[in-house]
Structure 1
Amino acid sequence: MLNLVALVLGLALWAALAAANVESLPGPAEVGRRFGELASDGTLAEDALASLRRVFVGFALGTLAAIPVGFLMGWYAVARGLLEPWVQFFRTIPPLALIPLAVVLMGIDETPKIFVIFLAAFLSSVVATLQGVVDVDRTLINAARVLGARDHTIFLRVVIPASTPFILVGMRIGLGSAWATLVAAELIAAQEGLGFRMQQAQLYYDLPTIFVGLISIGVLGLLMDRLLLFAERRLTGWQERR
């Protein structure tokens, strides 16, 4: 109910600002009409699918690479000492700043677009996984060793379950970073995608199309985040919540 109230209030504020002609802001009705036009001719579906494909592939690859690297860094001090400086170094460099390098090295097809999204998701997830492993209660590990558990059993039965909440939070942050990087990634000679459509609309000062792109990205990102939140609740049902 509170979510519905927030939505109604947001739409009302938007309509009021548009009615006051604030910076030629298009209203909900105008954006809705443009949404219908783009949806009816198939443009919106094609752009949404193209952007979803890039985000999903980059996010999935980034997460799949980050989890084992994070576990390795968290479990072995030597690996942490060797890899953590590089992880922190690249975290200070925005993925968008690597676009020129990605274009030079990888060309202008889908590879550089997916690479910058991959990097955004990877860096968020690897730090969260590392922190999850490091923060595992030593008492649990010592108790397992006293009971005769070997390292691989401790890792599978204690470390992975205890660090799962951190991993899922990192995935949610990585998903947000992936969507945030999408628009810039689609600067790289894209011919379709929500970010591409917004950039084309900017050239013609087509504000309704820009709003359609923004809202579509927000809705798709929210739906994917809710799926991750659902998985988090199913996988960490043992965790106390408020």
Structure 2
Amino acid sequence: MLWYAVRWSGLVNEALIPSPHQVVAKFADLLLHDNLLLDIWSSTRRVFLGVSLGIMVAVPVGFLLGWYRPARILADPMINFFRALPPIALIPLVIVYFGVDEPAKLVILFYAAFFSGVIVMYEGVSQITPLYIRVAKTLGAGEIEIFRKVIIPLTVPHILTALRVALGVAWATLVASELVAAQRGLGAMIQNASTYFLLDVIYVGIICIGCIALIMDLILRRISARLLVWQERAIA
């Protein structure tokens, strides 16, 4: 209703805002005649691989920085320096070093997922209270048992939070990654549509990215609720 109201208000030229039913019609047309599902699959696969690889590296690095204060003091300026660099600014260098094929797109998504994930991870781990570890030692737990039964469970919530943040950042970076000579993908579709001023196609691409990101986030929330049910029991 708000969308229709803005379009009919006269505040904005109607030619610049396609109506919802026009966007739905274009979505159906792209789905049936222009391999929209292939674009969705290409983008989702890239985001999944980029985030998976980024988090696989960010978790141990973030844990190391969060658990060992000297390492955090040493690496914190460098981490924050690279985190502040937008991935789109690195595209020329990525093309030089990795070419224009699929690895270049994954490098950009990896970069975005890693630095967002490692920040969340080490900030969370650094705030873990040592009280639980002292209690476990008092009860006779060894180093391996403390790591397995105390540290890992306390770290899992931060891993899941880092994964959710990295996933959101990766979807936000998708269009930039697909600037690198992508033939298929939602970002490539949006870029091509902008060249020919196809606003309804741009809207379809934007809405698809938002919906897929929302679905993936909801799945992660469900997984988090199942894995962290012990927290509710502990609080109760």
The alignment's TM-score, normalised by the length of structure 1, stands at 0.90
- In structure 2, the gaps of 5 or more residues are none
State which of 4, 12, 15 in structure 1 corresponds to 2:4.
Answer: 15
CA displacement 1:54-108 (0-9 Å, x = unmatched):
1010011011111111112222334333433321221121122111111111111
Deviates more, 1:206-215 or 1:131-140: 131-140
CA offset at residue 150 of structure 1? 2.7
Percent identity of the aligned residues? 46
Counterpart contact for 2:87–2:176, Cα < 8 Å: no
Q: Distance between the aligned counterparts of 2:18 and 2:143, measured in 1?
A: 60
* 2:206 is the alignment partner of 1:217: no
Counterpart contact for 1:198–1:209, Cα < 8 Å: yes
* 2:87 is the alignment partner of 1:126: no
In the comparison of the two structures, how many residue pairs are matched? 230
Matches within 5 A, 1:164-175: 164-175=156-167
The CA RMSD measured in Å over matched residues stands at: 1.6
Equivalent residue, structure 1, for 2:89? 97
Q: Distance between the aligned counterparts of 1:43 and 1:162, measured in 2?
A: 44
Equivalent residue, structure 1, for 2:108? 116
**Residue identity in the other structure for 1:220:** I
CA offset at residue 239 of structure 1? 2.6
Q: Distance between the aligned counterparts of 1:148 and 1:131, measured in 2?
A: 29
CA offset at residue 42 of structure 1? 4.5
Q: Distance between the aligned counterparts of 1:96 and 1:227, measured in 2?
A: 28
Equivalent residue, structure 1, for 2:228? 236
The list of structure 1 runs, each at least 4 consecutive aligned residues, that deviate by more than 6 angstroms after superposition, is none
Deviates more, 1:145-154 or 1:110-119: 145-154
CA offset at residue 114 of structure 1? 0.7
**SS of aligned partner of 1:161:** helix
The alignment's TM-score, normalised by the length of structure 2, stands at 0.92
Q: Distance between the aligned counterparts of 2:122 and 2:215, measured in 1?
A: 27
Equivalent residue, structure 1, for 2:59? 67
CA offset at residue 144 of structure 1? 1.2
**SS of aligned partner of 1:238:** helix
Equivalent residue, structure 2, for 1:3? none
- In structure 1, the gaps of 5 or more residues are 1-11
**SS of aligned partner of 1:190:** coil
Q: Distance between the aligned counterparts of 2:73 and 2:171, measured in 1?
A: 31
CA offset at residue 212 of structure 1? 0.4
Equivalent residue, structure 2, for 1:30? 22
Deviates more, 1:32-41 or 1:14-23: 14-23
Equivalent residue, structure 1, for 2:79? 87
Counterpart contact for 2:26–2:201, Cα < 8 Å: yes
